[in-house]
Structure 1
Amino acid sequence: MKRRNTPSKQAVLSVITKAGKAMSQDAIEEEIAIDINRATIYRVLNRFCDDGVLHKVMAEDGKQYFALCETYDTKAATHQHFHFKCTKCDTVECLPNQVNFSIPDGYLVESVNCVLTGVCKNCS
């Protein structure tokens, strides 16, 4: 189903694209240039995740971050990569290498959420 391209969607995507890193809903709300309520931002973010535009990163503190997908193909395994959360600047970023792992027979992996925590290259 084709979704409408609304000003809310354009604004949210613009903020994430310009940031070039994963962002929390709160950070997006602070940066957004138009008046959008919190529920609308969250709904837009989740739709983008459903459509394969963004993916969610769950940090160890339980906070959700949203990052652009490399490709807009929901069937591709585009989210099997590590993320890094800096303890100094709270930046969350996607690391470039895919995760390679093996699991016992009979298990089917549907998603991977790997977050490494430490000090990023800009803060060290």
Structure 2
Amino acid sequence: MIRRNTPAKEAVLNILTLAGKAMSQDAIEQEIDLEINRATIYRILNSFCDDGILHRIVADDGKQYFAISDKSDQNKKFESHYHFKCLQCERIECLPVEVTFSISDDYLVQNVNCILTGVCKSCRTL
């Protein structure tokens, strides 16, 4: 489905692209320069997820974060991958490792949410 581009959508996408990391709706709302209510931001984030532009990460505390999807192969569905959450700076990053597992054919897996927690490289060198 082709959606209309708006200044609000451009602003949200620009913030996430420049951040280079996963961000929560609250963090995006603090960074945005336009007058946009939180419901509009949430609708934009959800439509970007539906369109494959972003993917949603549910952290261990239940909070949702959003990150730019890898568009290296337009014909391939976004692969499940690991995320890393630093316990010191709370940054969440996508890791370039595909999640692999085996499960009985009785189950149809539709989503995988894998978050590793620890201390990131930046915080370890402080």
TM range (shorter): over 0.9
Are 1:79 and 1:112, in contact at CA under 8 Å, matched by a contact in 2? no
Show the counterpart of 1:48: 48
Show the counterpart of 1:108: 108
Q: How many matched pairs?
A: 124
- Distance in 1, matches of 2:74 and 2:49, equals 9
Superposition pairs of residues 1-124 of structure 1, within 5 angstroms: 1-71=1-71, 76-124=76-124
Residue 73 of structure 1: how far off its partner (Å): 7.4
CA RMSD in angstroms, aligned pairs only:
1.7
Q: Taking structure 1 as the reference length, what is the TM-score of the superposition?
A: 0.93
What one-letter code is carried by the residue in structure 2 that aligns with 1:40? T
Are 2:52 and 2:78, in contact at CA under 8 Å, matched by a contact in 1? no
Residue 76 of structure 1: how far off its partner (Å): 3.2
- Unaligned stretches of 5+ in structure 2? none
Q: 1:49 to 1:28 in 2, by over 3 A?
A: same
Q: Secondary structure at the match of 2:123?
A: coil
Residue 105 of structure 1: how far off its partner (Å): 2.1
Q: Secondary structure at the match of 1:3?
A: coil
- Distance in 2, matches of 1:43 and 1:63, equals 16
Residue 72 of structure 1: how far off its partner (Å): 8.3
Are 2:82 and 2:94, in contact at CA under 8 Å, matched by a contact in 1? yes
- Distance in 2, matches of 1:75 and 1:110, equals 18
Tell me which stretches of 4 or more aligned residues in structure 1 moved more than 3 Å.
72-77
Of the structure 1 ranges 57-66 and 104-113, higher mean CA displacement relative to structure 2 is found in 104-113
Residue 15 of structure 1: how far off its partner (Å): 0.1
